[in-house]
Structure 1
């Protein structure tokens, strides 16, 4: 990788390994040290190309990460992620285990972990002139819950029946109190999600209001009142958005006055525009394209840490995969390092366990990848009693070259242990229905949770009782400790529960895990400051 000399961020910023507050400019948090300088010397807009497009701009309805591409830029939340130094000069990244004030000035948590009391600044208003106060925050959070869409799951950390949140009170204009039904170690992260965005009640009520259990279609393509560092000037669904600095933002101005965001689906277009300088920042470029840019003087390729991983989910309803010896056998069949170097293009870290290496709670001592041992794999298959050759269908999303290449490698490797794999490409429009119905034998999944928390993630990836557990994984000992970890506020005690989850999960060999997947970002040589977060936040970009 070429070492581009990007001007360093302020020394105070680089020294903060667990702090963001205003100084780092990581999000909608106001900057207090000049980080948000209103655009610096840049002429023209900052151009961002990003993989995928939102299906909605409404933070209460947003589901996948694509729906959250703009939310943190348009809306304030009570808290924001803390910031860590990034992997390249001039970069920072988010810390999913630590949080700092954003709209809220401060907060207190009761000793029993049930009551969160937030103090807000006095005298803030929306662009409409209405007060941006505790009542407006309550309205916004109540709205997310009343609509009952994906945002409700984020806000309640997957606890929706009954909801985690017991009550929300605007005690005073500057004091908001939230009471939970049970302790939850991840609640601050829930409040850092787009689902907890503060919207303008007047704008909402003027455009359809709140309908329980339903989306407001108007806000799929319109902003619900500017509370973040940017306002939405133009929006062409599925294609592009233009953001401009919010003159009414409660903090310092963002570092760039104008940002043009292009939603790209074609990987060759992303590569071309990163190489020729059309895009200042490219988010989500393919691994093969990133590798081709490593020595190009145009830009710097930065693989940011993420909680994403490459898996093959084994459907336990498919009879052979209900057999633990079959599942264990497959884990010994792969030359993981060789496959990572070839089909993974060298980006990632092999591991075996329920949590990716960058997920809080991950323990490397309990998550070592299984060794490549085809003889052991064959023996385990023989011991399992299944009829050989074992045959199954491996589903992959249609049109994704890297996953198709990976699936072909899997097919070739497993043939060596008398396992015959047929590859099935699933059209994007059918994928969700196939996953929900369980109409597959095994499926390649490259991704991870939209909220970086082990409890949230395993609620749908492992929990025995979860209707969202698409593979039918059920490891009772892991389930028991997962439930305890979610309510345990003491970090050391909580880690003990996560360790127990990992040990029980690994012993059951419930699915195939290959390697972690970094978030690939290409940064033009003209850029001096880029912050990576799971939900893109352009506040400090310049």
Structure 2
């Protein structure tokens, strides 16, 4: 107890420099701050980095508000609203979308938004010059003409925008698809196609880095959002100042400071002291402990967050399906829900979020140690004999900064695996290293992941993102899963105009993924936040990032 108190006291002292938020300024505590702001960069898969991107940059379109759940507004995924694009039309005969852009929009650097910024953003995406080509991937998912896998070849012309995206005038842009595909508007809402301020980006380009990746990775993401970057110290703090000329109205919170406090217990102590206004990433037990505290609110939704076990097909012995099945039946799902989530989770019985259109319940692995042992023997490793030969393959990696939440879970998993003969060890690694190895290098052998969510609200989008082979348009295929039949089925389903037919194909694909244990789904859990009563207006988005422009701050 003495150690715990001194740690919490140190956290309070560290924050005393910033002081309690005053007037319309707020202080947020998180497990980390952005490692980079480049959505085509190595930090793109890290939630704290995505939070920074959506704070500074704006999309062409967004979702309208839907219902309110537990005090949080959730989107209406059937209704789109203009953001930087004011309106649009679609010509089915030519597969062409015409976007009428909003006039009079300016950015933090003084630039005026127009079609050149849109053209630059898509040109940069098609250059596939970043470490993680997310802008290209989203364009490919939406079937934008010319954004196929050929851009990764040696033909420089394949990387040029061509006539698939055309500037008609300063405030009109046309986008042509290669085939009918209903995912265009949804992908335009996602952080990987937010619009850059071309003038500032080009001003910070170099001969070696013509698309300013280094600048955005380390200095700023210039755009047309409601906040401007005031200061940024990686691994410490990031501060945003509201932009008074923001086209949707000046944000109510005039200054937002986000401080890195890795231990969730320390974030909770500081929130309860009144020195912080909002905290993220507490454990379910910690959220529950303040649910009835006067002056504090805990709110959340069941959206798309989950926990799964990642097993890399390119690393032996995880190419053995029977071994994968053995692991699936060695996991005590109910114990993880009770121990790790204080009952605030449910077993995940599918391969994509259960809240998404096209979801099929296809997994539902049961905890059965005897079956796990039998499957292990079928895999050629009776009682685990021979598995020690694979060295570090069974080192279970997880994000070190999430020790408060993941520590109890990985210990349960390790114990359960060892009980059936699988020599699991634990390997906590820094979030930046984890993100790079997952998204860019794809070399993590064995890992627990609770930060991946398909931001496009569609089962098919999730399938292309995580399971389609890279040569056929997959991006974040972290487990290196390859199945030619799946690739072929998805290429047809993504342009199938018949919803029932498309959903039937998606269900077949999900059955294939479950049969191969492409990854091992464990639980789905609530996205939650805790905040002082002076903060209101919270909305949930599929990227699970807060839009500070939504917040209302009372005196």
Q: Same fold (TM over 0.5)?
A: yes
State the superposition RMSD in angstroms.
Answer: 3.3
Stretch of structure 1 that moved more, 286-295 or 524-533: 286-295
State the shift of 1:522 in Å.
Answer: 1.0
Structure 1 residue aligned with 2:123: 142
Structure 2 residue aligned with 1:515: 523
Structure 2 residue aligned with 1:84: 66
Which one has a larger percent helix, Structure 1 or Structure 2? 2
Structure 1, residues 274-302: CA drift from partner, whole Å, max 9, x if none? 22222222122233432333343342222
**How many Å separate the matches in 1 of 2:442 and 2:114?**
46
305, 308, 326: which one pairs with 2:305? 308
125, 130, 153: which one pairs with 2:136? 153
Structure 2 residue aligned with 1:117: 98
State the shift of 1:131 in Å.
Answer: 4.1
State the shift of 1:45 in Å.
Answer: 0.8
Change (3 A) 1:283 1:86: farther
**How many Å separate the matches in 2 of 1:238 and 1:117?**
42
Q: Which runs of 5+ in 2 are unaligned?
A: 1-21, 142-146, 152-158, 389-393
Matches for 1:78-227 after TM superposition, within 5 Å: 78-89=60-71, 91-94=72-75, 98-111=79-92, 114-126=95-107, 131-146=112-127, 148-149=129-130, 150=132, 151-157=134-140, 161-162=149-150, 167-208=164-205, 215-220=212-217, 222-223=219-220, 225=222, 227=224
SS, match of residue 472 in structure 1:
coil
Change (3 A) 1:368 1:127: closer
Structure 1 residue aligned with 2:412: 409
State the shift of 1:85 in Å.
Answer: 2.9
Q: Which runs of 5+ in 1 are unaligned?
A: 1-41
| Contact 2:106/2:246 (<8 A) preserved | no
Structure 2 residue aligned with 1:374: 369
**How many Å separate the matches in 2 of 1:333 and 1:224?**
45
**How many Å separate the matches in 1 of 2:86 and 2:149?**
31
39, 54, 71: which one pairs with 2:34? 54
245, 248, 254: which one pairs with 1:257? 254
Change (3 A) 1:200 1:421: closer
Structure 1 residue aligned with 2:383: 388
Structure 1, residues 440-464: CA drift from partner, whole Å, max 9, x if none? 6532222214633544443353224
| Contact 1:303/1:347 (<8 A) preserved | no
**How many Å separate the matches in 2 of 1:234 and 1:474?**
43
**How many Å separate the matches in 1 of 2:79 and 2:430?**
38
**How many Å separate the matches in 1 of 2:413 and 2:38?**
39
Change (3 A) 1:177 1:397: same
Matches for 1:32-71 after TM superposition, within 5 Å: 43-58=23-38, 61=41, 63-64=44-45, 65-71=47-53
Structure 1, residues 109-134: CA drift from partner, whole Å, max 9, x if none? 33268322111234545566654222
Stretch of structure 1 that moved more, 141-150 or 515-524: 141-150
Structure 2 residue aligned with 1:483: 491
Structure 1, residues 231-280: CA drift from partner, whole Å, max 9, x if none? 33444444333333322222233233333332433323322222222222
SS, match of residue 338 in structure 2:
helix
Structure 1 residue aligned with 2:9: none
| Contact 2:37/2:49 (<8 A) preserved | yes
Q: Aligned residues, how many?
A: 498
**How many Å separate the matches in 1 of 2:106 and 2:423?**
63
330, 335, 340: which one pairs with 2:337? 340
**How many Å separate the matches in 1 of 2:421 and 2:119?**
59
